[in-house]
């Protein structure tokens, strides 16, 4: 292998597994250290800068960072990154003074944002400090999009959402709520300099052709419509026996909400085997904890109605068969259909986009799936002044993806309005700073603790099932948060090697607890990964290969299970190894926090 | 400064024949200077014992005084250990070995501990052919007492202090050969590929196995004008051969070119295979070994590798014909066989 080019910022970025996996590249270990230092406000602002909704995300994020977390490779469970974020949000001081200044003199450019979900709000947050004038349109009564209409209050209290939406709208965004946009042409004609479409994927899939669908209609609900009707107080009850169709997170929210609105026997029924259910493991766990059984391999056959009223559903029991390419086919077992009694059915089998309000003669191209053609980097459509982001761009994802796309769209919109190259992106802002404070003294907590992941306490189930607004999770206590924070391995404190200082005493190789380091003369061989002290079988993790040393060997470090314990650097007599903190900031349209935050 | 090593190890850490990982052979974290050669030797011992699937409780570590003699704390934390007085490790080892011949004895000493204060004891443990591995971690100085020249320091060599050593050095390898050691090797802390097989062979050897390991003292004797600094040693090293150690139960699979390799079958059935780099040298001929060492020294080179082995050597227990059972397990009944037996003995002497 060739010597590693560590001047490429992506090399060290990749070592910070959590940050790399986060769509918005939140500097996770940095905020976890700030939590350990009890500086919750600074921890919050580090988050706010990257992901805009730390309080919301600290409760609801899909947390792609956690399966990526290095800790999960050396023991059973990753660091509770997401719930630590909540600790920062819940314990911060007033942050209003740290919010960016908004110029009173505007730059003369007007932007329309359609939809007030996290994608649009992020665009607003990034462009307001630059002096743009922003009109925000949404058909709901307040901002937040699906964070408000879909994510139930027992997972996300309204106060938390309001606070973080307000930080943005209080920047002077002109909000137009209760305002459905039924024509893009109408907006285009208003002469905006740029338009951002962040309307999400608001249409729930139905089973319109299934037998009995029309007859049972008054007791059959589309999951997401039903959830928003609950959120806005229009629906307050449901029948005793409820069937929820679908195995994703929407199904989990539907079944748990049903339990709070009078559902006694709530059953989640999915077509696929359990392993293929899309819901996050923790969402499934929480639903089971609330006494909700799951039935798998049940394909809906009919809604059964008696005297014009829904009484049951009929299912075909199936088995999953896989062909050699792994394609799944659900094959009926031939057993007699299974009848499940019910008073209501919630259909939570997927969401779609709905662009009926976009005229097709505007020059905005749609592809064969009837989705707008959107550039995956700039988020620009084929109508140059129109940009897309969030679920509206490429279909339903999650809040953090909507935020990440909002940031990128904001950069593009800014460039577009300023006559710059829309595709241009500034390199990420990076710094690499030694953490040495003295001989064998580091400015980070290098010792590795053995603690297993701490459990987040929950409110008593007898209370939470009574009132849909009582938040189930209580969040970590500050003591527990501190202990959980100590589990973080500080992966951003990089092991940095300087060839010319190395005297090849092997001390680093000998001390490394996880056998990451090997001096070898076989560094040019293809099977290098098998010729290290411990085989480097995780191909997603890089090898850090030095220039050849004096003895014609090279130093090879497998990044996979490095604990960032700093022992290699402590045992190095010449400081050829150093522990250096790597800060990586995605460049945004604006640096949105004030100095000193 | 870290006083503890993290508990986590590589998740795919292999296990040896008796189900242990390398972690089971580690000791506590070293307190030696960062980069000290001695730590590499400890790592070599850990690897060798792991590879040989030795049960840690079957090993006794013995040492004298010095940075080198501190190292038994840093390996084989589950084994027996005795940190004796300066230069007196050989007599403690002799006593222990006589009491219990069933343990594996690993003695760790320094050049000060062996070639100065313990020189007399060293000579006697060699000539008695005590069954042990005796390692000198040779840095040419008294590391622990801040780097004074030791008796193995080469004439003219300069430590950090800056004064050239005016005296003749003692070459411990030549001494061992002279005094009748039955396994003699030299190696370098910075060359584990060579050191580890030598440690394994030395443990397999029945009798006194001596390894002189050059082990730079980074703090007091790694400066440019020292002949025991990392660079100097690397530049002047010359190997007799490459050595492979094949444990008894392992099938011999690698094939060597005819004529290029020599095999020696050890007392316990394991095999030492050399790929000779040096002609006119025979590892089983003491005098050719002495000549080879001399010749290299004349040329200013450091001869390393296995120098001499007598695979059929008789260790101290065989020489004095002790019973097979460890002496410490003999009971009063074994030791006081009673009147009848005593009468018999007396009778035989009349
Ligand atoms: C039940 C459910 C639970 C979820 N839970 C989570 C979770 O726990 N964590 C997570 O990360 N993600 C979750 N998601 C997904 C997440 O809510 C979305 O991915 C995210 O909100 C998308 O953001 P967005 O900005 O693209 O659009 P949205 O949040 O969908 O916002 C779009 C807004 O635009 C409005 N709008 C649409 N069309 C028009 C129009 N023509 N005129 C005016 N306004 C319009 C909509 O009413 C809406 O307010 C969940 C989704 C559902 C359905
Ligand atoms: C009886 C006695 N005399 C002197 C000393 C002081 N002393 C401690 S260590 C040492 C020399 C150690 O040198 P070496 O064996 O080479 O070990 P190193 O530290 O170099 O590894 C001396 C002289 C002592 N501890 N005990
Ligand atoms: S251990 Fe900490 S820094 Fe490393 S991936 Fe996990 S959360 Fe991120
Ligand atoms: S920081 Fe150094 S010693 Fe610690 S695990 Fe990583 S490579 Fe090994
Ligand atoms: S003084 Fe020298 S011998 Fe002692 S620990 Fe330090 S480097 Fe090693
Ligand atoms: Mg010494």
Q: Which of B9, B13, B40 sits opposite A506 (nearest CB)?
A: B40
Locate the chain B residue with the closest alpha carbon to A507. B35
Phi-psi region of A138 (alpha: psi -120 to 50; beta: other; left: phi over 0): beta
B214 vs chain A: nearest CA distance in angstroms?
A: 12
| Cross-chain residue pair B34–A565, CB shorter than 8 Å | no
- Give the closest ligand to the alpha carbon of residue B112: 2
The pLDDT profile of chain B, 350 residues, written as one tens digit per residue, is 788 899 999 999 999 999 999 999 999 999 999 999 999 999 999 999 999 999 999 999 999 999 999 999 999 999 999 999 999 999 999 999 999 999 999 999 999 999 999 999 999 999 999 999 999 999 999 999 999 999 999 999 999 999 999 999 999 999 999 999 999 999 999 999 999 999 999 999 999 999 999 999 999 999 999 999 999 999 999 998 888 888 876 555 545 454 467 788 888 888 888 887 777 888 999 999 999 999 999 999 999 999 999 999 999 999 999 999 999 999 998 888 899 999 999 999 98
Length in residues, chain A: 597
pLDDT at A596: 43
Residue A147 Cβ inside 6 Å of ligand 1? The answer reads yes
C-beta of residue A149 within 8 angstroms of C-beta of residue A232: yes
Q: Going by C-beta distance under 8 Å and a sequence separation of 6 or more, which residues neighbour residue B57?
A: B78, B79, B80
- B79 in contact with chain A, both atoms CB, cutoff 8 A: no
How many C-alpha atoms does B68 have within 13 Å on its Cβ side? 34
Contact A84, A60 (CB under 8 A): no
Q: Which of B72, B86, B114 to mutate to test the pocket of ligand 2 (most atoms within 8 A of CB)?
A: B86
Say if CB A212 and CB A305 are below 8 A apart: yes
The string of pLDDT tens digits covering residues A394-453 is 999 999 999 999 999 999 999 999 999 999 999 999 999 999 998 878 999 999 999 999
Instruction: Provide the token pair at A263.
Output: 């559902």
Cα B207 to middle of ligand 2, angstroms: 27
Map out the domains of chain B as residue ranges.
Answer: 22-320
Q: How much is the pLDDT for A405?
A: 98
Distance B56 CA to ligand 2 centre (A): 28
The reported pLDDT for the residue numbered A73 is 97
B11: which 2 tokens? Answer: 């998740």
ipTM: 0.90
Residue A55, pLDDT score: 98
CATH topology of domain A204-349: FAD/NAD(P)-binding domain (3.50.50)
Ligand located closest to B36 CA = 5
Q: How far is the CA of A574 from the centre of ligand 5 (A)?
A: 14
The alpha-carbon gap from B318 to the nearest alpha carbon of chain A, in Å, equals 38
Q: How close does chain A come to B43, measured CA to CA in Å?
A: 6
Q: Does B61 contact ligand 5 (Cβ within 6 A)?
A: no
| DSSP secondary structure letter of residue A343 | S
Pick the CATH number of B22-320 from 3.40.50.970, 2.102.10.10, 2.40.50.100, 3.40.50.720: 3.40.50.970
Of residues B96, B151, B85, B102, the one with CA closest to residue B125: B96
Q: How far is CA A161 from the centre of its chain?
A: 16
Indicate yes or no: CB of B2 within 8 angstroms of CB of A441: no
pLDDT of residue B258: 47
Nearest to B8 among A506, A563, A571 (CB): A563
Phi/psi class of residue B184: alpha, beta or left (left: φ > 0; alpha: ψ in -120 to 50)? beta
Residue ranges, CATH 3.50.50.60, chain A? 99-202+353-417, 204-349
B8 CA distance to ligand 4 centroid (A)?
11
Query: Minimal Cα–Cα distance from A445 to chain B, Å?
Result: 10
Segments in chain A below pLDDT 70: 591-597
Domain A99-202+353-417 fold: FAD/NAD(P)-binding domain (3.50.50)
Regarding the beta carbon of A516 and ligand 4, being less than 6 Å apart is answered: yes
């Amino acid at each position: 292998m060739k010597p590693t080019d560590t001047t490429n910022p992506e090399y060290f970025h990749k070592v910070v597994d959590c940050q790399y996996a986060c769509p918005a590249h939140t500097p996770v270990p940095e905020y976890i250290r700030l939590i350990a230092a009890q500086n919750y406000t600074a921890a919050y602002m580090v988050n706010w800068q990257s992901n805009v909704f730390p309080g919301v995300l600290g409760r609801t994020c899909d947390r792609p960072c956690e399966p990526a977390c290095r800790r999960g490779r050396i023991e059973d469970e990753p660091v509770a990154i997401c719930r630590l974020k909540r600790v920062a949000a819940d314990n911060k001081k007033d942050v209003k003074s740290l919010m960016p200044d908004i110029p009173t003199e505007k730059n003369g450019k007007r932007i329309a944002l359609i939809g007030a979900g996290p994608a649009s709000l992020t665009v607003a947050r990034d462009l307001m400090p630059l002096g743009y004038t922003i009109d925000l349109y949404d058909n709901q009564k307040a901002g937040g999009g699906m964070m408000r209409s879909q994510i139930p209050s027992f997972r996300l209290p309204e106060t938390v959402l309001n606070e973080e939406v307000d930080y943005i709208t209080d920047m002077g965004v002109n909000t137009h709520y209760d305002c459905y946009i039924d024509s893009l042409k109408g907006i285009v004609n208003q002469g905006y300099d740029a338009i951002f479409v962040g309307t999400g994927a608001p249409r729930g899939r139905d089973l319109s052709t299934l037998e009995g669908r029309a007859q049972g209609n008054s007791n059959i609900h589309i999951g997401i419509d039903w959830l928003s009707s609950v959120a806005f107080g229009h629906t307050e009850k449901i029948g005793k026996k409820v069937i929820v169709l679908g195995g994703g997170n929407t199904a989990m929210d539907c079944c748990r909400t049903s339990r709070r609105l009078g559902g006694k026997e709530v059953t989640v029924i999915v077509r696929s085997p359990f392993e293929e259910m899309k819901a996050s493991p923790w969402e499934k766990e929480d639903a089971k904890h609330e006494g909700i059984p799951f039935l798998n391999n049940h394909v809906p056959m009919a809604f059964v109605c008696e005297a014009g009223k829904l009484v049951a559903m009929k299912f075909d029991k199936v088995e999953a068969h896989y062909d050699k390419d792994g394609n799944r086919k659900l094959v009926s077992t031939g057993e007699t259909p299974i009848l499940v009694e019910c008073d209501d059915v919630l259909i939570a089998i997927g969401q779609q986009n709905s662009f009926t309000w976009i005229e097709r003669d505007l020059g905005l191209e749609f592809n064969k799936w009837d989705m707008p053609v959107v550039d995956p980097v700039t988020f620009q459509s084929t109508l140059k002044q129109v940009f897309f982001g969030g679920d509206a761009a490429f279909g339903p994802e999650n809040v953090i993806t909507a935020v990440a796309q909002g940031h990128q769209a904001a950069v593009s919109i800014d460039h577009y309005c300023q006559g710059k190259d829309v595709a241009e992106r500034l390199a990420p802002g990076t710094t690499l700073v030694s953490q040495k404070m003295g001989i064998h003294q580091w400015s980070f907590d290098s010792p590795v603790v053995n603690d297993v992941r701490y459990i987040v306490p929950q409110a008593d189930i007898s209370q939470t099932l009574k009132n849909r607004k009582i938040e189930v999770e209580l969040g970590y206590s500050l003591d527990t948060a501190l202990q959980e924070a100590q589990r973080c391995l500080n992966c951003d404190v990089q092991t940095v090697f300087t060839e010319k200082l190395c005297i090849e005493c092997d001390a680093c190789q000998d001390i490394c607890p996880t056998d990451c380091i090997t001096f070898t003369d076989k560094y040019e061989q293809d099977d290098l990964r098998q010729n290290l002290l411990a085989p480097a079988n995780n191909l997603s993790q890089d090898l850090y290969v030095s220039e050849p040393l004096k003895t014609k060997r090279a130093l090879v470090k497998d990044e996979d299970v490095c604990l960032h314990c700093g022992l290699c650097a402590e045992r190095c007599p010449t400081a050829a190894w150093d522990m250096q903190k790597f800060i990586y900031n995605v460049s945004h349209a604006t640096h949105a926090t004030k100095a000193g935050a | 400064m870290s006083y503890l090593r993290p508990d986590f190890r590589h998740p795919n850490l292999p296990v040896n024949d008796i189900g242990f990982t390398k972690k089971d052979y580690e000791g506590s974290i070293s307190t030696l200077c960062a980069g000290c050669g001695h730590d590499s030797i400890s790592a070599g011992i850990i690897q060798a014992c792991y590879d040989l699937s030795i049960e840690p409780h079957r090993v006794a570590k013995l040492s004298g005084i010095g940075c080198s003699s501190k190292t038994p704390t840093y390996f084989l934390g589950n084994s027996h250990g005795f940190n004796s007085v300066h230069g007196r490790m050989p007599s403690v080892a002799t006593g222990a070995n006589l009491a219990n011949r069933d343990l594996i004895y690993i003695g760790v000493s320094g050049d000060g501990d062996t070639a100065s204060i313990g020189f007399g004891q060293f000579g006697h443990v060699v000539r008695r052919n005590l069954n042990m591995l005796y390692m000198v971690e040779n840095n040419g100085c008294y590391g622990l007492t801040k780097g004074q020249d030791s008796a193995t320091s080469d004439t003219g060599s300069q430590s950090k202090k800056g004064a050239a050593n005016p005296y003749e050095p003692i070459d411990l390898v030549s001494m061992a050969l002279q005094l009748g050691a039955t396994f003699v090797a030299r190696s370098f802390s910075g060359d584990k590929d060579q050191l580890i097989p030598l440690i394994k062979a030395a443990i397999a050897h029945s009798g006194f196995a001596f390894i002189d390991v050059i082990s730079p003292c980074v703090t007091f004797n790694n400066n440019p004008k020292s002949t025991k600094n990392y660079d100097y040693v690397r530049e002047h090293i010359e190997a007799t051969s490459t050595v492979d150690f094949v444990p008894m139960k392992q099938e011999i699979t690698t094939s060597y070119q005819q004529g290029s390799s020599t095999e020696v079958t050890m007392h316990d059935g394991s095999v030492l295979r050399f790929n000779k780099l040096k002609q006119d040298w025979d590892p089983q001929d003491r005098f050719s070994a002495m000549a080879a060492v001399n010749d290299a020294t004349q040329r200013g080179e450091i001869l390393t590798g296995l120098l001499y082995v007598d695979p059929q050597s008789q260790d101290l227990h065989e020489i004095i014909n002790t019973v097979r059972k460890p002496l410490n397990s003999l009971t009063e009944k074994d030791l006081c066989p009673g009147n009848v037996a005593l009468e018999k003995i007396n009778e035989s002497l009349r």
